[in-house]
Amino acid sequence: GQNIDQPTEMTATEGAIVQINCTYQTSGFNGLFWYQQHAGEAPTFLSYNVLDGLEEKGRFSSFLSRSKGYSYLLLKELQMKDSASYLCAVKGGDYKLSFGAGTTVTVRA
């Protein structure tokens, strides 16, 4: 089976930077996705990594190391609207997405 671990909760101050780590052990690898989910809403796509390295998209960046089974999502210049759950998901060898339990980020004023 798949095993995807990420911290349960993180708290940060408005304007700060937060890094959400994700480690995974999967049968095969066809990419890693990050999704954002506000309370009571559907997950929405943030980023995709399939090669090692950093992908930057505005205030959000995502990093992948396939050899370490490790990724992180970096949120810069935090805003109150960034308070949400962030889901790490890995597409395994069977092309199915397996999700971590999610990290709830709370941004304080």
Partner 1 sequence: IAGITQAPTSQILAAGRRMTLRCTQDMRHNAMYWYRQDLGLGLRLIHYSNTAGTTGKGEVPDGYSVSRANTDDFPLTLASAVPSQTSVYFCASSESSGEANEQFFGPGTRLTVL
List residues near partner 1 by CB under 8 A: 4, 30-31, 33, 41-45, 48, 50, 87, 89, 91, 95-102
Nearest to partner 1 of 20, 78 (CB atom): 20
Q: What is the smallest separation between the CB atom of 7 and partner 1, expressed in angstroms? A: 13
Question: Which C-beta is closer to partner 1: that of 78 or that of 90?
Answer: 90
CA distance 53 to 77: 21
Residue 11 Cβ vs partner 1, minimum distance, rounded to whole Å: 18
Q: Tell me how far CA of residue 49 lies from CA of 40, 60, 67, 96, in angstroms.
A: 27, 13, 14, 15
Tell me which residue has tokens 């970096």: 74
Nearer to partner 1, 47 or 63 (CB): 47
Q: Minimum distance from CB of 27 to partner 1 (Å)?
A: 13
Name the residue among 77, 48, 53, 75 with its Cα closest to residue 64: 53
Distance between terminal CA atoms of the chain?
40
